[in-house]
A and B are shown apart, each in its own frame.
Chain A
Amino acid sequence: MSGLPILSLITFLPLLGAVLIAVLPSGDPNLIRRTALGTALATWVLSLILLVAFARTQAGFQFTEAADWIPSFGIQYKLGVDGLSVLMVVLTTTLSWISILASFGPIKFRVKEYMISFLVLEVGMIGVFVALDLFLFYIFWELVLVPMYLIIGIWGGANRIYATMKFVLYTLVGSLLMLVAILATAFTYQAATGSWAGAFDYEKLQAFAAAGSFGQNFQLLAFLALFLAFAIKVPMFPFHTWLPDAHTEAPTAGSVILAGVLLKLGAYGLIRFAVPLYPYAAHTFAWPIIVLSVIAIVYGAIVSIVQPDLKRLIAYSSVSHMGFVTLGIFVFTATALQGAILQMINHGLITGGLFLLVGVVYERTHDRSIAKMGGLAATMPIWSTVFGFFILASAGLPGLSGFVGEFLVFVGSFVYAPGIVVASIIVMVLVATYLLWMFQRVAFGPVSDFLAGLGDHVTDMSRVEFATLAPLAALIVVFGLFPSLILDFLNGPVQHFLVAAGSAVGG
């Protein structure tokens, strides 16, 4: 590949920005905000360059960079992207600058620390998607945790300490299991080959796994540990309860990133690591996981219906939507996996947008309870229109991006076993129920006393707020009509996944 280490640049540019902000005077929050936004935008532009330069038809990893890190254990600094990670990187950088822009107004104290945390968070997230060394992956994975802990714990809502502790402890349990699995894998590899070289190298390990060299019992244990780590992050039923709390307490931008990117880390891990490294175990556990996914889809939707809090409702809807992703992964068909990856991206865009919109209302009312709202369509018409748009996208309206992903997952699962779809398709009604009922109570009807009491505070969206949402809305429409823009990137990864999972191509 070319000499320019573009992946390292993209990964560590935000860190540079964070360092720069650290030396800026904290008395000038606007300068800090602009610097952060500038860094994020620069990273975004770089990632777009990467997207354009990426060869879609070529299989395998591109732009790989490798350097020895801890040679005595074969640990490397190794980066590389395939179609899946390239999309995830761009999703991350996009949501990052949108989130930073959306934080301009709401974050008023400790701006410097906030922006530094956010940029470090971006480093971690990008790193997870580009790391090709398991140890490096783990480092980035943990790196994500710290800034998020601070963002929820310092700039969050009233119950933020509880939420952030729960989030961190829950995730830590998972990531420690993951560390155990990674080390066990490396040790097994070392024992089998007699050398540490490549013991943490994803490509080498994958080739090793493809040859069927991991024992079956080992696979079952390692897969379970890894799966648990990722399942908590996704989050899958019944490991999802940290999500509503974290979402509810996090600041708006935190929720956006949490829903938009952090949940994708888990799904990405499943696609990239858990299944290709332990295909036998993946097939063994496929049915239990499918059942859990179906439960998550339906159960998340049912629980969403009765949520009294806007953010909590969207959080539970995330559980439901992410159920599609895990379902799509574990039915091992090309169609379903394409759908699952589409759903990952769409969920990032749509739910990110929904959280931004709730943040807009929260800015004005300092309240998120649905019961207190009402008649916002009259007082905030533009907001209501945009909110309605995102709700429809979330409900899977054809022509918007949510539909294609969900439908592909359904079709792929139907090919695998029609019963899965029959059990979960009720979600089509449930999703409309909770979203439209919520929309009716928030936007329709007469203006509520609570809102009327706030008087002129309830103004319509500002330009900046609209600017954060417009790109998301545009992408939702574009991907809804031209999903091939995404799907073209996925040929290689999906093919690779299916071969690695040892299942017949197609379906």
Chain B
Amino acid sequence: MPIGQTLPFTAVRWDDVLFVVLAIMLLGSALLVVTMRDIIRCGLAMIASFASLAGIYVLLGNPLLAATQVLVYIGAISILVLFAIMLTQTKNAPTRLVFQTQAWIGAVAAVVIAAIIAGTVLTTTWPSTGAVAWTATSDIATMLFGQYVLPFEVVSVLLTAAVVGGVLLARREPPADKEDRS
């Protein structure tokens, strides 16, 4: 039995419900990311926000992006972050003061930025089609390996460089006396 376009007994569309739920999850978990004391929990909240965003990508008719979001952000970046947290977490590190002294100015600035963006968005008339256009993965593939092949290659080089750079930076410096032995 196919599910209807709208919530039963109401004119509220499923899409809208889904959107609201996902948006609340997204913003809520993002807020938790920036406000919680325990940094490990922050990391976990970040995973939640990434996941909600993947859901929104589906709503926007872009399943490939959603998949990529899950794979890259949740699968790679979040894990990386969690590892970094574990590497840098010291027991005596002060966990009390998570915020800067300038935090309240930052909050005000953030609110103002949000207001400006929202105001701008709402007062602008966009050339919107009014409906989500489904993006086929094959179209993306065609474009990525056709028109955008050069950027694609550049990005691959960048990624390689980043990996090498990351390894070099994070490498433990060999102590001087060991250098003599080698």
Q: Does a CB–CB distance below 8 Å link A and B in the complex?
A: no
By a beta-carbon cutoff of 8 Å, the part of chain A in contact with chain B is none
